Each structure stands twice: as C-alpha cells, then as structure tokens.
Amino acid sequence: MEKKPHFVRREFLPREVPSISLALLLAAVLLLNALLYLYLNKFYSSLGRVETDPGLCPFGHFKFGAVKNCSPWLSCEAINREVRKVKCVGEGAVKKVFLSEWKEKKVVLSQLTNLELKEDFLHGLKMLKALQSKYVVRLLGYCEQQFTILTEYHPLGSLRGLNETLHIPKYKGMNTWHRRLMLAIDYVSVIRYLHSSPLGTLVMCDSNDLDKVLSQYLLTSDFHVLVNDLDALPLVNRSAGRLVKCGHRELQGEFVAPEQRWPYGEDVPFEDDLMPPYDEKTDIWKIPDVSNFFLGHVEGSDIVRLHLFDIHAACKKKDPAERPSAQEVLDTYRKVLTLLIREAAMPGTREML
C-alpha cells in the first residue's frame, strides 16, 4: 500500500515531460509563424507588391526621384526647350532611343525613325498614357507632332542584361532563387495587368522569341520589372467577337503558341487572310520559358522549378482554353514563394512534430 503513490508518480513524470516539450515546441512554431508572417508582409511590401503605388500621380502628371509634387506631362515646347540629348542608346524598327537630360536628371527620349510605322508609334504612346501604373514605365511627356516620347531612365536597362547585371559585384547579393522568383512574379503581374487593364484584355504581341520578350521590359534599380514597349498591344473583345493576330507574317518556332503557327501544313503557302486569330492565352504559353530564364541556375532554382512544374505544364496545354489565366499563374507563384520561404525559415519543423 505504501508503494502505490511511488508507482503512480513514476508513471506520471514520463508523460508530463513530453507534454511540456510538445507545448514549448508548438509555441515556438506559432512564434516562428508570426515572425514569418511579419517578414513576408515586409518582404512583399519592400518588393512593391502592394496594390497601391504612392508614387502615382493623377492622369496627365508625373513625379519621380525625391520630388514630392506632381508635374504635368511635358509638352512639345517644354521638351524642345528643356530636354538635351546625350547619346543614342538603342534603335529598333519603330524608334530610336536617346539617353537625355532634363533639369539635371537622366531621362529617355524616343523618336520615330520610320514614318511608315507612325501608327505603331502613336498606338504605343496611347497605351503608355492610358496604362500608367506601377507595372509600366513612367511617362514624363510627349509630342505627337514630332513623334517624340519622354520616359523615366532606368540605368540597368532591359531584362536582356539580367544575368550580366547579377554578376556585377554590387548586385551579386541579389542573385538568389527568391529574388529571381520575385522577378518572375513581377513579370506575371505585368501580364495579369495587361489582361485585365482599364482598356480591356490586351495581348503582348512583341513576343515572338525570348530575346524579343526580354527587350520589352526594364529592370529597375530596386529590382522590379516594368513593361517599356507597348507598340504592339492589340485588344481582345470576346463579347464583340474580336480576337487578334500578332502581325501579318508567318510565326514559327516552339516559343510562340501553337495557335499562332500556320495550321494548314507546309504544302499550303501562308496567307494572312487565312490565318485564324487568337486570344490572350498566347501570353500564358510563353510564361514558363520566360520564368525559366528568370530562375537561372542558382542554388535552389531547381526546387522552385519543381514546385512550378504543374502550373507550367498547364500553361503549355495545346488547347488555349485549358490554360490557366494570368491571375491563376500569379496566385500559384506567390503561394510557392511563401511556401519556400517558410520552409527555409523553419527547416526540420515537420520532422520535429
């Protein structure tokens, strides 16, 4: 009878200790989750993922740098009087691009080079004015009479130079899987914005190969992606039965979507009038290839690709109707980022539990 309390106490202690340890472990996990939540909030905000942009001004105005007040877009007179060309930094089929100065600030002046393409130039200007947002390069002014556009300057240039930029000592710290995935998220965010823009569903037609796609976007100094060239941005209007065709020439290669290729075989010569039109799902087809470029070959990028495998396979469905929307792709990318950051912050937690 005297040994019974001793026996009960010996049974009770081994059960109590693991319970306390488990409670402490769960508390630690909850704390880590709370810290992770705060970190992700800060992470997204610092990378510009909030939906509002305090840097935006009312329509017809701009501000950039440390300037607090909004200024009206520069007119023909102001551009001619106040903007000085420094050097030519690029030339395409439609326009020539000059690094320039305005009030001791570096800006970009674009001028039409071929009058036969003035409609493309003016369409790009129209899109640039209507789509001003955190996804689009900032418009500073324009002169329709002289076919001139003035925009904000971004010294890191287009996305074609991304890998070279990430090998510069100053930016090597950015060359990580999560920063690269954030750039891919930025890119898909632009596509989502264009597909649900204030003007309707717009298709990014200057995208027949990877190099062409990358040339349409800028890399900002704080590592965001902005769309820069909007010359070829036709509108899809399903309710009105309006689909699009990206140009009047035959498109070839695996990079363009199947519906963009000539469907009648090599024996039938290409005729633009016989080429069926298509919709914005052509942009979705190209997302995996562009994202693969963004992810590169850094440590952890293969793990990211593994997590994105299913959504990328869906993007490559031959039937455009079976492909996901840009919003669905964006949601998946963000979930993968959150999941992988959580796993990196709390390695081994699952095994501990």
Percentage of the chain exceeding pLDDT 90: 76
Nearest of 322, 52, 341 to residue 182 by alpha carbon:
341
Q: What is the pLDDT of residue 351?
A: 47
**Position 45 pLDDT exceeds 50:** no
Mean pLDDT (the chain, rounded)? 88
Alpha helices in the chain (DSSP H): 4-46, 76-82, 118-130, 162-166, 177-195, 210-215, 281-295, 301-307, 309-315, 326-345, 349-352
Please report the pLDDT score of residue 46 as a whole number. Answer: 45
Q: Which of 54-58, 158-162, 177-181, 208-212 has the lowest mean pLDDT?
A: 54-58
Residue 242, helix vs strand vs coil: strand
pLDDT for the residue 181: 98
Q: pLDDT by residue (tens digit) across 184-222?
A: 999 999 999 999 999 999 999 999 999 999 999 999 999
- Judge whether 337 and 182 are in contact, CB under 8 Å: yes
Beta strand pairing call for 139-143 and 225-227: unpaired
145 has pLDDT over 60: yes
22-26, 254-258, 260-264: which range is least confident on average?
22-26
Q: How far apart are CA 43 and CA 41, in angstroms?
A: 5
pTM of the model: 0.84
Structural domains in the chain, CATH included, are 71-153 (3.30.200.20), 154-346 (1.10.510.10)
274-299 mean pLDDT: 97
Measured over the CA atoms of residue 96, residue 97, residue 100 and residue 102, the dihedral's sign is: positive
How many other C-beta atoms are found inside a 10 Å radius of the C-beta of residue 189? 22
Whether 239 has a pLDDT exceeding 90, the answer reads no
Mean pLDDT of 59-68: 85
Token pair listed for 212? 């062409």
- Residue 333 in this model has a pLDDT that exceeds 60: yes
State mean pLDDT over 116-124: 93
State the pLDDT confidence band at 84, using cuts at 50, 70 and 90. Answer: very high
